[in-house]
Amino acid sequence: MSAGFAGPVDPELYEAVAARLRTAGSAGVLPIVQSGDPVLRTPAAPYTGQLGDLLPRLAEVMRRTMHAAPGVGLAAPQVGIGLALAVVEDRGNESDPRERTPLPFRLLANPAYEPVAEEGPSGTLRRVPFFEGCLSIDGWHALVARHHRVRLTGQDADGAPIDEVLTGWPARIIQHETDHLRGELYLDHAVPRSFVSNANLVSIWAGAPDPAPVAAALGFELP
């Protein structure tokens, strides 16, 4: 049992996950499940320590798979494992107008989030629209309005509690990956008319750091 997690190891699940990890090979990379597989639409089971000493190996394989994709987050259901686990990491980009501050690598167990009011006298809740993609919906992006600030709770890889506030792009990553563990995909929250291929997002819209021109050209309102 991992320190900080209350439940015992589940021998059957342990062996099933161990078998899946053996398929990662020397590169340590697993195939990413694509939309249409029921595992992506099934709420993940809470992680209570079922994998014991196998958890670090799973975290490393998920990290390598995320990097190889490449991506900035990966939930366990995306590699066919229905447990409430996710890895995140983004080096950030200070010049990016989406507030893309660095998000160090970490494994999240049982993450949850709630919106947090903006700092200052107004204290309002704020949502911001930007384009998102997903490793499980290969080839597409769409506009999604997300909470600008969120409170993240859950546990780390050792079972220690997490309780912190994230802003901007890191907050978006947390919301995206946590939604995966609820059986949700970003397209559930997207503006349908905004769907654009990855190639067009880059070649026509230069990644769309400002979604306003895309909205005007494609004929939809920013949420």
Residue 206 confidence (pLDDT) above 50: yes
The structure tokens listed for 116 are 């947090």
Q: Does the residue 209 lie in any domain? A: no
Q: Does the residue 63 lie in any domain? A: yes
**Residue 147, marked binder:** no
Q: Does the residue 207 lie in any domain? A: no
> What's residue 122's pLDDT?
76
Counted domains in the chain: 1
> What's residue 135's pLDDT?
98
Query: Of all residues in the chain, what percent are helix, strand and coil, respectively (each to 5)?
Result: 30, 25, 45
Average pLDDT of the residues in 110-139:
94
Residue 121 confidence (pLDDT) above 80: no
**Residue 180, marked binder:** yes
Q: What is the domain-level CATH number for residue 146?
A: 3.90.45.10
Cite the beta strand spans of 8-93 per DSSP E. 73-75, 85-90
Q: 19-50: per-residue pLDDT in tens?
A: 999 999 999 999 999 999 999 999 999 999 99
Q: Which of 60, 118, 164, 177 is catalytic?
A: 177
Q: Does the residue 217 lie in any domain? A: no
CA dist list (Å): 160 to 120, 144, 156, 164:
31, 31, 5, 13
Known catalytic residue at 132: no
In this structure, is the dihedral angle defined by the CA atoms of residues 46, 48, 161 and 166, taken in order, positive or negative? Answer: negative
Domain that holds residue 42: 11-191
Q: Does the residue 220 lie in any domain? A: no
Q: Does the residue 172 lie in any domain? A: yes
Q: 142-195: per-residue pLDDT in tens?
A: 999 999 999 999 999 999 999 999 999 999 999 999 999 999 999 999 999 999
**Residue 134, marked binder:** yes
> What's residue 119's pLDDT?
86
Residue 2 confidence (pLDDT) above 80: no
